[in-house]
Structure 1
Amino acid sequence: MDQAQNNKSKRIPPLSIRLTEEERVLLEQRAGSLSLAGYIKSVVFADGAPRYRSHRQTPELDAKLLAELLTHLGASRMASKLNQIAKHLNQGTLIVDPDQDGDLKAAATEVAWIRSTLLQALGTKS
């Protein structure tokens, strides 16, 4: 085990501090692109502080996949259909026949496809 892993495993529980809303905003402004924890450590420990990542990583977007996803969502009217299902569930009037069972399974498949496509478009691992 190298020194960095050894240090991380021996860390004590986190320290908590309460701030006013104004103090939090000021702290975030001063931190800039650093994480709040990284900024606080760099201020508190000044010269002896380890260097932290300078900015948060943002995923690369795949515009073509996002456009395809939005087109698919608009064409499917899925939100309206799911709202109708929820309404009938809440009223206790949802009766599922074989056709509706197939429709519900198809909707679940579409939701799974949308989720995986969205994660792919955002550059996130599923």
Structure 2
Amino acid sequence: MSRPAPFSLRLSDDERQQLEAQAGSMPLASYIKSVVFAAEAPKYRRRQKPPVAEQQLLAEVLARLGATRSASNLNQIAKAINQGTLYVDDDLVTDLKRACAEVAWMRATLIQALGIKS
């Protein structure tokens, strides 16, 4: 019968000293197991993932957002403004800032909804 792979846990020096003090003469691994598998150990709910169909739709929206080249287009507009080849009034500045904020919000919200770590 093969044994499962060992479980590794990284602790700071202080955390390890605290565990060793709490374990007393008991082997550290035995102490940790007794605490983790105690009946009163806290139970954590699993994070719910969106249904697969919903996740696929979110992924498609994120892909389409990336395919629109909005970031590139906004960069080209910013370059034209900086070069002075585009007339800019207060209304255009407001619209551009709003568009940038909305695109950034959509991207961040989709990444969060999909559970992707950026």
**Larger Rg belongs to:** 2
TM-score with structure 2 setting the length = 0.46
TM-score with structure 1 setting the length = 0.44
